[in-house]
Structure 1
Amino acid sequence: MTASFPTLHRPEAGTTLPPRRWLRHGAAALGALALLGGGYALVLAQVSGERGIAPTASSADIEVRGIAVDVTADSAEEARQQAWREAQRKAWEKVDGPDVSDSELSAMVSAIVIERESIAPRRYIARLGVVFDRQRAGRYLGGQSQQRSSAPMLLIPIMASGGAYTTFERRNEWQRAWAEFNPGTSRIDYVRPSGAGGDSLLINFGQTRRRSRAWWRTTLDQYGAADALVPIARIDYQFPGGPARGIFTARYGPDSTLLGGFELSAESPEQMPGMLAEAVRRFDRMFETALEQGKLTPDPTLQGGDSGEMDPALRRLIEIGRAIQQRDLAREERGPAPNQPETNPAEAQETPDPAETAAPVRAITVQFASPDAATFDAALSAVRGVPGVRGLAVTSTAMGGTSVMSVRYAGSLDELAEALVERGFAVNRGAGALAISR
């Protein structure tokens, strides 16, 4: 293996290269190699390590979790078998199953999930989950109703604890609870990243606060999703190792729309996984309710240009423009009012309106903030109602940024600025233009 160093000019015969120059070139080469190695190590540190937790279950089987059993028998093995049969019976009651024998019930059970267990010589205490095979249990419970399922939703679970908001930057209990959740029977089509590789760089709490539709479209396309669900869990501990309170909030989409929230509590760290599992189930029911209410419709602004969907704000502007055009056409068709005497056009030119002759009408460019369609419409209405404004036209529309209108005003730029200030605008004067905001 050979190392590559910068080329040094060989000195002419009879001359000697100063030692400092050799040292300077060698130090520069070593510094460049160190920078390259350090940058490579930094990138590896951001994506390596134990970050990902792959989803463990995604089937259509019927799963019931959180069943507590406490059985005493002549031996530990007998206590365990009796506890499992008791858990099967309790799980069957939770899914409203009809009366069946123990042998028929055992034939429908495909797995027993041990969430927590303690074994004594004659006692068995555990928290179990029971999974029923849908094909076998379906004839007793009835077929699954054909209900509308959601579009693919990218799941971004966020955990807040000690003032730090983490997603996939490191493994946490909230990420594990969602990985262990079985969404096979849910109406929500979850897209659950494992958190490995570049997931920790692309999806984090800071990215969920962004509003750029271009960034969201790029991210959702990489995961094959149409929109995003953001369940947030904030854990507050009374003291280390003591009781904890969980504050859970459900948000949706790039605008972080609030869907609801709830609170749960855990008396000890041992109860924390059970509390988080219950929170996941509540979130799933909350998302299904939002789907029934029509709140989980994918945002049209997240769809590509070939989807045929139009931005709602742009559609609203087009509707406003068409309504104004129809109003003007109707006014022209009606003609002058019945009681208004017809005037000679020449006389009308000789006797202009005093309000028009008071000041010359000039076109003034006005920039205004337009974060959404409602603010856009409100700004147009407010400027149109200023005394002296003869008309206006929108020359540039930028939803989420700054739009531009051209205002025909009978007066000077300073007079228009003072009139806008009186209407509650913050006005900045420029060279022949104004910039207004609320």
Structure 2
Amino acid sequence: MSHAISLQPALRRPALLVLALAVLCALGVAVWAQVGGERGIAAVASTSDIQVSGVEVDVSAASGSEARAKAWVEAQRKAWETLDGPELSDSQIEGLVSAIVIEREQLGPKRYIATLGVVFDRQRASRYLGSESEATRSAPMLLLPVTVSAGTQMVYEQRNPWQRAWAEYQAGQSRIDYVRPTGSGGDSLLLTYGQTGRRSRTWWRNALDQFGAADVLVPIAHLRYTYPGGPIEGSFTARFGPDNEYLDGFAMTAASPAELPAMLERAVVRFDRIFELALADGKLRPDPTLNIGTPELSPALQRLLELGRAMRARDQAAVAASQPTAESGDAITAAPIRTPPPEGSVALYTVQVATPDAAAFDSAVSAVRGAPGVRSTGVRSTAIGGTSVMTVSYSGSIGQLAEALRARGFKVSQGSNALAISR
């Protein structure tokens, strides 16, 4: 029986070790699952070129390739008319185009149906469209696109159509300086829906500093799937800042899941207009409370602080005026203790020292520290060529300290809990 009892702990140790390793492995897998996998969608490079999206064409010709070529020419002309450009030939317009973006297309044997985007080079097109005045751009704004669907809220936890719509948006022409995280790695842990409900400026400042942003924009897409394969109802809300301030909202509907990307692209353009209007109205200013390093005080609070400082200075001046002076007529700084201590006790005394030069200062400090009964000394102010002030912790009365300093070769003037010494 005794052998069985003694072996039980030994038998348990391997099992406990295996259990501990299993727990650590599970924790490691859980942490990796939160930051690993296919999450990030890199934002497209923003340019200042002029882009016209959503140009619909439907052209028939002798062949599919010919229909496509004619459709592209027609799309370029439609896009130029959208910009209210002057009358130009097709070849002139083609010379202003830098790219054609195929949003959707269907190519048949003799027909081409598509929705295209036309990008005009700004430098070449500006001489026909006129140079627009430089518009004021916003401060860098961190973008948190939130998707709410089926009772869940998602930002960058996994790839989603709302994140993709913002990543593919060409924001070069916008007055909003969007900071669009990729959503990979630790972004999914730091930038969550819960972050939009925080009010702590420290939390927000830490998050914004990670991406070099001054404030935050939160476009929320609430998607409701009516039934599988059926229409998708979208309710969109624009919010701003650490206090989740409401800016505007609107609604859209996609006829089917296949139409969802197109609806979200239109929603992104609508959000950009909302943010630009808020910027023009002065609403999109960075919250000053996010600047933790240089907090701003209201004028009323600043005035109260100034009054408090003035009252404290007045009280200190009244206390200093009530202090007695030395018997020789020279003013002596009051000691921290207002009443003389009992004989033989340790007390603090103020000692003023004439220090005409640095050597006199060093010599005086060393001599005071070496006086019998001195426990410790501290220099309150140093005035080379004037009078320095020391605080002396002494075991005894001020009279005894004066005698000890006279024994060290000092000329001593005694006041109330203060001494003035010189060589």
TM score, norm. by length of structure 1? 0.67
Partner of 2:160: 172
Q: Counterpart of 2:59 in 1: which secondary structure?
A: strand
Shift of residue 21 of structure 1? 3.2
Contact map agreement 1:160 1:166 (CA 8 A) in 2: yes
Report 1:55-204 matches (<5 A).
Answer: 55-204=43-192
Contact map agreement 1:71 1:83 (CA 8 A) in 2: yes
Partner of 2:372: none
Task: Say if 1:101 and 1:24 are closer, same or farther in 2 by CA, change over 3 A.
Answer: same
Supply the distance in 2 between the matched residues of 1:324 and 1:145 (Cα, whole angstroms). Answer: 50
Report 1:259-270 matches (<5 A).
Answer: 259-270=247-258
Question: Per-residue displacement from partner, 1:196-236 (whole Å, max 9, x unpaired)?
Answer: 11111000111111111100011001110000000011112
Task: Say if 1:189 and 1:317 are closer, same or farther in 2 by CA, change over 3 A.
Answer: same
The answer on 1:206 being equivalent to 2:194 is yes
Deviates further, 143-152 or 220-229: 143-152
Partner of 1:230: 218
Partner of 1:310: 296
Task: Say if 1:104 and 1:164 are closer, same or farther in 2 by CA, change over 3 A.
Answer: same
Deviates further, 43-52 or 231-240: 231-240
Q: Counterpart of 1:125 in 2: which secondary structure?
A: strand
Task: Say if 1:289 and 1:106 are closer, same or farther in 2 by CA, change over 3 A.
Answer: same
Deviates further, 86-95 or 248-257: 86-95
Q: Counterpart of 2:115 in 1: which secondary structure?
A: strand
Contact map agreement 1:230 1:251 (CA 8 A) in 2: yes
Contact map agreement 1:57 1:181 (CA 8 A) in 2: no
Task: Say if 1:311 and 1:227 are closer, same or farther in 2 by CA, change over 3 A.
Answer: farther
The answer on 1:290 being equivalent to 2:278 is yes
Amino acid at match of 1:160: V
Shift of residue 237 of structure 1? 2.3
Partner of 1:400: none
Partner of 1:410: none
Shift of residue 322 of structure 1? 8.0
Partner of 1:251: 239
Task: Say if 1:92 and 1:323 are closer, same or farther in 2 by CA, change over 3 A.
Answer: farther
Amino acid at match of 2:100: I
Report 1:356-367 matches (<5 A).
Answer: none
Task: Say if 1:321 and 1:22 are closer, same or farther in 2 by CA, change over 3 A.
Answer: closer
Question: Per-residue displacement from partner, 1:68-125 (whole Å, max 9, x unpaired)?
Answer: 1111111100111111111111111111211111111111111111111111111111
Contact map agreement 1:301 1:311 (CA 8 A) in 2: no
Supply the distance in 2 between the matched residues of 1:33 and 1:21 (Cα, whole angstroms). Answer: 18
Partner of 1:411: none
- The alignment covers a number of residue pairs equal to 308
Shift of residue 321 of structure 1? 7.9
Task: Say if 1:153 and 1:311 are closer, same or farther in 2 by CA, change over 3 A.
Answer: farther
Amino acid at match of 2:235: I
Supply the distance in 1 between the matched residues of 2:283 and 2:307 (Cα, whole angstroms). Answer: 29
Supply the distance in 1 between the matched residues of 2:261 and 2:85 (Cα, whole angstroms). Answer: 27
Partner of 2:206: 218
Supply the distance in 1 between the matched residues of 2:181 and 2:271 (Cα, whole angstroms). Answer: 17
Question: Per-residue displacement from partner, 1:345-386 (whole Å, max 9, x unpaired)?
Answer: xxxxxxxxxxxxxxxxxxxxxxxxxxxxxxxxxxxxxxxxxx
Select 2:16's aligned residue among 22, 28, 32. Answer: 28
Task: Say if 1:162 and 1:273 are closer, same or farther in 2 by CA, change over 3 A.
Answer: same
Amino acid at match of 2:10: W
Amino acid at match of 1:285: R
The answer on 1:47 being equivalent to 2:35 is yes
Supply the distance in 1 between the matched residues of 2:188 and 2:229 (Cα, whole angstroms). Answer: 28
Amino acid at match of 1:70: D
Supply the distance in 2 between the matched residues of 1:48 and 1:199 (Cα, whole angstroms). Answer: 11
Identity within the alignment, %: 57
Task: Say if 1:72 and 1:316 are closer, same or farther in 2 by CA, change over 3 A.
Answer: farther
Supply the distance in 2 between the matched residues of 1:273 and 1:134 (Cα, whole angstroms). Answer: 28
Shift of residue 311 of structure 1? 4.9
Supply the distance in 2 between the matched residues of 1:229 and 1:136 (Cα, whole angstroms). Answer: 33
TM score, norm. by length of structure 2? 0.69
Larger Rg, first or second structure (1 or 2): 2
Supply the distance in 2 between the matched residues of 1:239 and 1:323 (Cα, whole angstroms). Answer: 68
Shift of residue 238 of structure 1? 2.1
Supply the distance in 2 between the matched residues of 1:131 and 1:165 (Cα, whole angstroms). Answer: 35
Q: CA RMSD in A?
A: 2.2
Report 1:4-19 matches (<5 A).
Answer: 18-19=6-7
Q: Counterpart of 2:137 in 1: which secondary structure?
A: coil
Supply the distance in 2 between the matched residues of 1:40 and 1:311 (Cα, whole angstroms). Answer: 47
Partner of 1:348: none
Supply the distance in 1 between the matched residues of 2:75 and 2:40 (Cα, whole angstroms). Answer: 32
Q: Counterpart of 1:93 in 2: which secondary structure?
A: helix
Amino acid at match of 1:158: V
